């Protein structure tokens, strides 16, 4: 069919085109006829702009119809300034942004295909636009590489061992990707960070955010926190030791009893004092058991005294940012075992901080764990079926008390 094109300077051009031709191809023909760059052309039919990707028939253009061509002054930017760098960013981000904004058809398509990029194009942050263009380029590169690998495997020699390994790896990866996609749909909370359990308490009248950890054997307080609570004067240094793990922290001693306030009720509590700035106060299993506490995750409360008091666990916004610092917390969590310097330490296999465990290495034994009498006790307990190393360790923990060591071994 034939269409008539009228330019701004009233030049009349007749083109013989196919009804299914795209507007972009028509502009290419006009570029030859008028010497006006394709990028600078703007074609109008019935007063509406024609998009480059649209077909003439879809626009309702028929034989002998008239089309207007005007020069798009805002598109007069040289083509090289609208290009892209090797990393996918625009050579001239301002010119690229203006060019896309002025093409209404392109903006419509962009809002449908990539709303995030469309919003950035309409914004004023060119740095964000460049970063997003780079990200889109990386995504396209990864997709092309995956498609190339899939095509390569499709035509690979089925008897090639290396090709079979790659196919097996691709099948395994697809299973992982499918599992990840299913988790995103059905279990999205699994990708969120789990906030640890904290409650408001008062230690010796001083308000604190207490970290509740049923995986920690003992209740721990830092030296600085104990000093702030006025408890450092009660420190029993006979219980010194070293908390061993991936790192280590010094155990300064033990505070045998001090009042803590949970809700409106006071309870007696004992503490291991740790020289660690990253763990202020940890409410461990010893006091959880002693005061019959229940961690109620359904109602999101800590119940104390068999339910006589219920205090809510803190929301993330109420927890000091330093407590949520994962790097600091991981360092504290790794320093978890105790190497005792006296026989008067906790009588279990580990002191846990943050759910991490490490064995307790006994320190220097007392006089009660020496000589033939000690060996006789070891032999007697070994006859009961316990390992020699475990028996020796238990006897050292209990200063050679055979009955307490036996009760510990039977209870363990």
250-253, long-range: CB within 8 Å, 24+ apart, which pairs? Answer: 250/274, 250/275, 251/275, 251/338, 252/223
DSSP structure class, residue 65: -
HSE toward the beta carbon, residue 57, CA cutoff 13 A? 6
pLDDT tens-digit series, residues 261-294: 999 999 999 999 988 766 789 999 999 999 999 9
Stronger pLDDT, 363 or 274, i.e. the higher one: 274
* Integer Cα distance of 280 and 271 in angstroms: 12
> In the prediction, which pLDDT does 81 show?
59
286-292, long-range: CB within 8 Å, 24+ apart, which pairs? Answer: 286/217, 286/218, 286/219, 286/346, 287/219, 288/212, 288/214, 291/262, 291/267
> In the prediction, which pLDDT does 295 show?
93
- Is pLDDT of 337 > 50? no
* Integer Cα distance of 75 and 64 in angstroms: 29
* Integer Cα distance of 341 and 365 in angstroms: 9
pLDDT tens-digit series, residues 108-159: 888 888 888 888 888 888 889 889 899 988 888 888 887 787 777 777 777 8
Give the domains, in start order, of the chain with CATH numbers. Answer: 2-75 (3.10.20.90), 79-138 (no CATH), 141-191 (no CATH), 198-340 (2.40.70.10), 367-411 (1.10.8)
pLDDT tens-digit series, residues 49-90: 888 888 888 888 888 888 888 876 544 445 455 678 888 888
Could you tell me the pLDDT band of residue 310, with boundaries at 50, 70 and 90?
very high
* Integer Cα distance of 249 and 204 in angstroms: 25
* Integer Cα distance of 385 and 391 in angstroms: 10
| CA 364 centroid distance within chain | 44
User: Which stretch of 8-22, 174-188, 275-289, 341-355 has the lowest confidence by average pLDDT?
Assistant: 341-355
Could you tell me the pLDDT band of residue 234, with boundaries at 50, 70 and 90?
very high
* Integer Cα distance of 76 and 90 in angstroms: 17
Alpha helices, DSSP H, located in 205-361:
223-228, 285-290, 326-334
**Contacts for 17 with CB less than 8 Å, ≥ 6 apart:** 1, 2, 3, 25, 26, 29, 56
3 state DSSP class of 253: strand
> In the prediction, which pLDDT does 356 show?
35
252 touches 241 (CB < 8 A): no
Report the percent of the chain where pLDDT is more than 70.
83
> In the prediction, which pLDDT does 184 show?
83
* Integer Cα distance of 241 and 135 in angstroms: 52
Quick one: tokens of 28? 């290419």
- Catalytic hit among 103, 213, 286, 346: 213
**Contacts for 163 with CB less than 8 Å, ≥ 6 apart:** 153, 156, 157
pLDDT tens-digit series, residues 176-233: 888 988 888 888 877 777 888 999 999 999 999 999 988 888 899 999 999 999 999 9
Distances (CA, A) of 241 to 236, 340, 350, 362, 401: 12, 4, 13, 10, 21
Q: At what angle do helices 104-113 and 115-122 cross, to 10 degrees?
A: 140
> In the prediction, which pLDDT does 376 show?
83
pLDDT tens-digit series, residues 366-407: 333 456 778 888 888 887 777 787 788 778 777 787 877 777
* Integer Cα distance of 11 and 368 in angstroms: 115
Between vectors from CA 94 to CA 88 and to CA 97, what angle results, nearest 5°?
A: 70
155 touches 106 (CB < 8 A): no
Report the percent of the chain where pLDDT is more than 90.
18
> In the prediction, which pLDDT does 158 show?
76
Judge whether 346 counts as a catalytic residue.
no
- Is pLDDT of 314 > 50? yes
- Is pLDDT of 412 > 60? no
Stronger pLDDT, 236 or 109, i.e. the higher one: 236
């Amino acid at each position: 069919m034939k269409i008539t094109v009228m330019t701004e300077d009233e030049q009349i051009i007749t083109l013989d085109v196919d009804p299914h031709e795209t507007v972009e191809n028509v502009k290419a023909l006009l570029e030859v006829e008028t010497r006006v760059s394709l990028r600078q052309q703007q074609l109008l039919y019935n007063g509406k702009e024609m998009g480059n990707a649209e077909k003439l028939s879809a626009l309702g253009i028929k034989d002998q119809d008239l089309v207007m061509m005007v020069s798009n002054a805002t598109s007069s930017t040289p083509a090289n300034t609208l290009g892209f760098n090797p990393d996918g960013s625009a050579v001239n981000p301002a010119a690229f942004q203006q060019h896309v904004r002025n093409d209404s058809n392109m903006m419509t398509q962009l809002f449908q295909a990539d709303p995030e990029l469309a919003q950035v194009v309409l914004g004023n942050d060119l740095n964000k636009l460049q970063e997003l263009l780079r990200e889109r380029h990386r995504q396209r590169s990864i997709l092309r590489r995956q498609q190339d690998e899939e095509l390569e495997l499709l035509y690979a020699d089925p008897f090639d061992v290396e090709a079979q390994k790659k196919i097996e790896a691709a099948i395994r990866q697809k299973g992982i990707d499918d599992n990840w996609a299913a988790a995103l749909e059905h279990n999205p909370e699994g990708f969120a960070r789990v906030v640890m359990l904290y409650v408001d308490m008062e230690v010796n009248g001083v308000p604190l955010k207490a970290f509740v950890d049923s995986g920690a054997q003992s209740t721990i307080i830092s030296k600085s926190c104990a000093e702030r609570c006025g408890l450092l004067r009660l420190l029993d240094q006979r219980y010194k030791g070293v908390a061993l793990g991936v790192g280590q922290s010094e155990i300064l001693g033990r505070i045998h009893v001090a009042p803590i306030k949970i809700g409106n009720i006071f309870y007696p509590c004992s503490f291991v004092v740790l020289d660690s700035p990253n763990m202020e106060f940890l409410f461990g299993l010893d006091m959880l058991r002693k005061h019959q506490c229940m961690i109620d995750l359904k109602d999101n409360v800590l119940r104390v005294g068999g339910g006589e008091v219920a205090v809510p666990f803190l929301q993330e916004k109420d927890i000091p940012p330093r407590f949520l610092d994962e790097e600091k917390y991981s360092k504290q969590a790794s320093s978890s075992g105790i190497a005792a310097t006296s026989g008067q330490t906790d009588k279990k296999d580990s002191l846990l901080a943050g759910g991490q465990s490490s064995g307790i290495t006994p320190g220097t034994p007392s006089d009660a764990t020496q000589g033939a009498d000690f060996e006789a006790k070891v032999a007697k307990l070994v006859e009961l079926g316990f390992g020699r190393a475990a028996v020796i360790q238990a006897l050292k923990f209990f200063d050679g008390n055979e009955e307490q060591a036996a009760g510990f071994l039977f209870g363990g």
